[in-house]
Amino acid sequence: MASKQLFTDSDIADEAVRATCDDASICKRFATSKGYWTDLYVQYFVRQVGERKAPEINRGYYGRVKGMNLLIDAFLKKTQCDCQVVNLGAGLDTTFWRLKVENIMPKKFFEVDFPMIVARKIHHIKTKPPLSKPLIETHSTDSLLLDCHSLDSDRYCIIGADLRDFPTLEEKLKKFQINPELPTLFLSECVLVYMTTEQSSKLVHWVADTFPTAMFINYEQVNMNDRFGEIMIENLQRRQCNLAGVDLCQSLDSQKERFLSAGWKSVNALDMMTVYSMLPQEDVARIERLEFLDEKELLQQLLQHYCICWAVKDKLNLGLSQIGF
C-alpha cells in the first residue's frame, strides 16, 4: 500500500516563505547590533545576534528600514495620526513599538501573518514585559482579547490569516473593527511576490475599493529579468521558495501598473539605489563608516533589484500624493 504523503509541495513552499520571516529578523538584529539604526525591541524577538552578515546586506536592510519608515512617518504626519495602519505579512516587525516610543501612534495598528507566525509573536508579547507593557498602557480595560492566533487591544491587533484566503482575511479584519472611513496605510515587504499575480491583484483591488483614503507601500524585488535577478530567483528556489508573483517584478513600470490597474489614483516607484541616495546623507555617511565595503558594485546590484512602490487614494484631500522622498 502506498504511504500517504505527509507534506504537499504547497506545504513545503509555505514553510519556506515563513522561514523568510526569520531571515529578515535575524538580519535586522545583526545590523542593529552593529549600530546601523536603533531598534529597542528586535532583541525580544531574536535573542542571539547570530553570525556576521556581509556589509552590503546590512546597508541593504538599512535602506529598506529607513525608506519604509520615512514614508510611514510622512503618512502619520499628513493624517495627524487620525488613521489606521495594516501591516500585511508583518512577521516579527517592531514598527508598532517604535511608533509608541516616538509618540506617533495611529488610532489602531493591525498586523496580519500566517497563524503559525502570529502564534509565535503572541507568545513573545505575552512572556516579555517590554513588549506587553506598551499594549497594556494603550488599552482601556483590564483584559485583552487573546487566543493562540489573534490578539486585540485598543491600539494594536495581530491576526493569524493567510493573505491568499481572501474571504477569511476580510472577515477577520471586520471582526476586529477595521474602519474603512479612516485614512488607512497598508504595508507589505517582500510579501506580494509570494502570491500569484491574480491573488495579489485581488488584494490590492479590495484595498482600493474598500478604503477611499488610503496609501499602500510595497517593498519588493524589481528588475528580475536580468542575470542578477535570475540568480536571486535560483537561490530562492533552492530553498523551495517560489516567487509566484515575479511577473510583476520585471520593472518599476510593472510594479506601478499593479496599482494603477486596480484603481489607485497616484503611484510612484523607486529602486533602492535611488532611495539610498535620497536618504539623509549625514546618516548614510555615518553607517558607511561602520564597516569597510569591498564590493561596492555588489551593493549597487543588490539595491537595483529591490524597490519601494507607493500608491495613494485621497478622497479626504489630505495631500497624500505629496508624500515621497
CA distances from 67 to 9, 16, 129, 194 (A): 35, 26, 29, 22
Residue 47 marked ligand-binding: no
Is 271 part of any known ligand binding site? no
Residues 248/198, Cβ–Cβ less than 8 Å:
no
89 is in an annotated binding site: yes
User: Which residues face 160 on adjacent strands?
Assistant: 113
Q: Is 52 annotated as a binding residue?
A: no
Partners of residue 214 on adjacent β-strands: 184, 313
User: Which amino acid, 67?
Assistant: G
291 is known to lie in a ligand binding site: no
Distance, in Å, from the CA atom of 89 to the CA atom of 160, rounded to the nearest integer, reads: 10
Q: CB-side exposure of 129: number of CA atoms within 13 Å? A: 0
Taking the C-alpha atoms of residue 280 and residue 211, their distance in angstroms, rounded to an integer, is 32
Q: List binding-site positions.
A: 64, 89, 162-163, 189
Binding positions for S-adenosyl-L-methionine are 64, 89, 162-163, 189
